[in-house]
Amino acid sequence: MITVALAGKPNAGKSTFYTAATMADVDVANYPFTTIDANRGVTHVRTECPCLDREERCGNENCRDGKRYVPVELLDVAGLVPGAHEGKGLGNQFLDELTNADVVLNVVDASGATNAEGEPVAVGAHDPLDDVDFIEEEMDLWLAGIVDRNWESVERKSRSPDFDLDESITDLLTGFGATEHDVATVLRELEYPDDPKAWTADDREALARAIRRRTKPIVVVANKVDAAPDGAVDRLREGTDKPVIPATADGELALRRAAEAGVLDYDPGDDDFEIVGEVSDGQRAGLDAIRGVMDEYGGTGVQTALNAAVYDLLDRITVFPVQDASKWTDGTGNVLPDAFLLPSGSTPPDLAYAVHTDIGEGYLHAVDARSSRRIGESHELSEGDVIKIVSTAGP
Ligand SMILES: Nc1nc2c(ncn2[C@@H]2O[C@H](COP(=O)(O)OP(=O)(O)OP(=O)(O)O)[C@@H](O)[C@H]2O)c(=O)[nH]1
Ligand SMILES: [Mg+2]
């Protein structure tokens, strides 16, 4: 499963985002380092369900009237402070947790009401732009430290006659999620000495930065927009080349709880909601305030941020494998039972392997269930494709 990690300074709203996105109960409070042990849970990205092209909705537990939710893992970790890579705050512990992440949501407090250490200050007293770069810097320097400490292994291997630099560096970085292809691509863009013993600390740091950029892309979540001064989001957007998603994690949490209590008609990622139950005047005022933020930004931003991370930065598409190409069902009659988030450019054999190694190895051909036509082995799949795989290992 794809892992999305929430990173950011303390008190930015990571755990609030996590609770809203997973509906799991975790500690949230207005002081730094509320979270110490990482929280790990399941959230979803949202897409259109292919069942919208049929007469009836599919009834899958992850489909709400054609809004299809595809599971991804979400990780909530301790807040990071400047100097974390050297162990400041709860530093290294958090950074090690990031090793498993495929993509990072850097949650910043767009209201500027918390300083670099996450302590409360007056609204606008802290510049949120400062919080954007330092997370990246901490991640880069942390990885540079790992490369430094383990470089000796590369030097040692270089004495062997069949030494391969790409391979040795890949060995060093696989634990961080870097493939041989990542390493080769990054090395092509860098200048460095052939002999690993001649590499300087700067050479290693340049390698670490490039690998981090490639393997842990970042979306900036401009959280607490409900309390942010005018222009705060624009300022963030002008100050960084990363995607910036305005959000109110707190607002999303309120909506999900109210929806769960049957008071609201709201599905995650909707740009509006409807009050369908009894609410007090105070609750109505609170909901109206959230609606004001949603009107301005097109929603609460929580779903938008998750979708941006998975569909834009990781460049994934959703593909739905089925066994019956006319009914779009699995062997027991469930309509559109599964959804896979494949890298864009994936082919039918890639889907077969994603379903199961045996299905991949026994791959014979595939059928596009929409057109009932066979598709070739090198056919590039698209978002929302419904595909029947025929395999010697299949049912
Ligand atoms: N106004 C406003 N406050 C928010 C929002 N999201 C979170 N908060 C508040 O910000 C404070 C910190 O929230 P947490 O979710 O605990 O922050 P954290 O980033 O997990 O903090 P640490 O675990 O200490 O690193 C709490 O008081 C939240 O209620 C938001 O969208 N708007
Ligand atoms: Mg927390």
**What are the extents of the domains in the chain?**
3-38+77-138+217-310, 317-391
Q: pTM above the 0.85 mark?
A: yes
At a CB cut-off of 8 Å and minimum separation 6, what does 171 contact? 153
Average pLDDT over residues 105-130: 93
Closest CA to 118 of 108, 133, 129, 103: 108
Q: Average pLDDT for residues 156-181, to the nearest whole number?
A: 93
Q: Give me the mean pLDDT over the 211-238 stretch.
A: 96
Planar angle of CA 212, 96, 92, nearest 5 degrees: 105
13 C-alpha to ligand 2 centroid (Å): 7
Architecture of the domain delimited by 3-38+77-138+217-310? 3-Layer(aba) Sandwich (3.40)
Q: Do domains 3-38+77-138+217-310 and 317-391 have the same CATH topology?
A: no
pLDDT tens across 25-57, in order?
A: 667 767 666 666 778 899 999 999 999 999 999
Beta bridge partners of 386: 320
Q: State which ligand 1 atom lies nearest to the alpha carbon of 78.
A: 25
The CA distance from 395 to 392, in Å, is 8
* Domain 317-391 in CATH 3.10.20.30: yes
105 alpha carbon – ligand 2 mean position (Å): 14
Q: Among 88, 92, 104, which Cα is nearest to 136's?
A: 104
Nearest CA to ligand 1 atom 7: 13
Q: What CA–CA distances, in Å, run from 237 to 41, 230, 241?
A: 29, 13, 7
DSSP class of residue 323 equals S
224 lines ligand 1 (CB under 6 A): yes
pLDDT of amino acid 12: 95
Q: Does residue 88 surpass a pLDDT of 80?
A: no
**Residue 223 CB–ligand 1 contact under 6 Å:** yes
What is the strand order of the sheet 385-391 is part of?
Answer: 340-343, 316-322, 385-391, 363-368, 373-375
